[in-house]
């Protein structure tokens, strides 16, 4: 475990060196968040509530989704894919840490920086502009904390799985763009899932994507309580475990096909 946390620490420190990129990303996320909020306000028109979401909740939704873009790296992550293409994977596989945990540690350091310097900051800036919804109660706060941690893990496992495509094709980024694009829609990132027809929501719930974004949103807004809350957290755990096992199986198959410099 010590090596895992040391790698996390190094990744955290490395992310902090890119201050200009952090500021640029923060400004971009805030701009598009305000733009999305304005679109939703226009769509609501004179209505005060749609599908159980008030206009205040809808604006808060845009703040939340913009705040976790970098934390979940939902727009794409190709670091592992690039390491396979360059041959660095050969050295990574020899490290005294499993390949999955090696990348997990690095992504954890990245995610922590993104969460505090971009996610939390965006929420605070939103608070200065809009009257957004705030979580209340210890139970909701603990559930939200657990959900955010699990959503990151599910997101990482999905991104890891997608990146493993590089073991079989030199054009794995095409696979990645398609896979990440699906996640944007089915996770509830582009639009709250409650706005969609019941059959589409059911379809989404058969995938891991709502566990990345939608669960966080509904817990934060207080839309999930009691048994529904525990069911949502259980679903996140299920997908975290299931995707991890799938990653391990695909990774073993990929390593057997690996050829580095003709070796």
Residue from 211, 25, 222 nearest 118 by CA: 25
Provide the pLDDT for residue 100: 93
Is 129 part of a structural domain of the chain? yes
Q: What is the DSSP string of 96-155?
A: SS-HHHHHHHHHHHHHHHHIIIIIHHHHHHHHHHS------SHHHHHHHHHHHHHHHHHH
User: What is the Cα–Cα distance from 255 to 75, expressed in whole angstroms?
Assistant: 27
Provide the pLDDT for residue 1: 79
Is 44 part of a structural domain of the chain? yes
pLDDT band at 263 (very low <50, low <70, confident <90, very high): very low
Is 263 part of a structural domain of the chain? no
Residue 65 sits at the vertex; the CA angle it makes with 106 and 55, to the nearest 5 degrees, is 165
* pLDDT tens figures, 16-59: 888 888 888 888 888 988 888 888 888 888 788 777 788 888 88
Residue 49's φ and ψ, nearest 5 degrees, are -155, 140
* pLDDT tens figures, 148-204: 999 999 999 999 999 998 888 778 888 888 889 899 999 999 888 998 899 999 999
Provide the pLDDT for residue 83: 85
Is 9 part of a structural domain of the chain? yes
* pLDDT tens figures, 92-114: 778 888 889 999 999 999 999 99
Is 17 part of a structural domain of the chain? yes
pLDDT band at 212 (very low <50, low <70, confident <90, very high): very high
Is 262 part of a structural domain of the chain? no
Mean pLDDT of all residues in 78-101: 84
Q: Where are the alpha helices (DSSP H) in 45-78?
A: 55-67, 69-72
Is 191 part of a structural domain of the chain? yes
For the question of whether the overall pTM of this predicted structure is more than 0.85, the answer is yes
Is 63 part of a structural domain of the chain? yes
| CA 76 centroid distance within chain | 10
Mean pLDDT of the chain: 88
pLDDT band at 261 (very low <50, low <70, confident <90, very high): low
* pLDDT tens figures, 231-251: 999 999 999 999 999 999 999
Question: b vs e for 123-136, b when ≥16 Cβ sit within 10 Å of the residue's Cβ?
Answer: bebbeeebebbeee
Q: Domain range holding 163?
A: 2-257
The domain total for the chain is 1
């Amino acid at each position: 475990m010590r090596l895992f946390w040391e790698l996390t620490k190094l990744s955290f420190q490395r992310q902090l060196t890119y201050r200009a990129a952090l500021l640029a990303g923060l400004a971009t996320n805030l701009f598009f968040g305000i733009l999305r909020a304005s679109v939703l306000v226009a769509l609501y028109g004179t209505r005060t509530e749609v599908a159980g979401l008030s206009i205040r909740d809808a604006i808060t939704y845009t703040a939340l989704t913009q705040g976790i873009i970098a934390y979940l790296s939902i727009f794409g992550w190709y670091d592992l894919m690039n390491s396979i293409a360059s041959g660095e994977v050969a050295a990574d596989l020899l490290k005294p840490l499993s390949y999955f945990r090696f990348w997990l540690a690095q992504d954890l350091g990245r995610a922590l920086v993104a969460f505090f310097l971009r996610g939390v900051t965006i929420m605070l800036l939103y608070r200065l502009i809009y009257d957004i919804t705030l979580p209340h109660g210890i139970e909701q706060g603990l559930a939200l904390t657990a959900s955010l941690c699990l959503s990151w893990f599910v997101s990482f496992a999905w991104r890891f799985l997608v990146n493993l495509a590089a073991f079989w094709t030199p054009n794995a980024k095409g696979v990645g763009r398609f896979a990440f694009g699906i996640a944007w829609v089915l996770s509830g990132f582009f639009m709250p899932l409650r706005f969609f027809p019941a059959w589409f929501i059911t379809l989404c719930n058969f995938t891991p994507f709502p566990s990345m974004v939608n669960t966080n949103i509904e817990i934060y807004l207080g839309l999930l309580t009691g048994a529904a809350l525990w069911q949502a957290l259980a679903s996140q755990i299920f997908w975290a475990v299931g995707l991890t096992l799938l990653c391990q199986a695909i990774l073993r198959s990929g390593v057997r096909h690996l050829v580095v410099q003709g070796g």
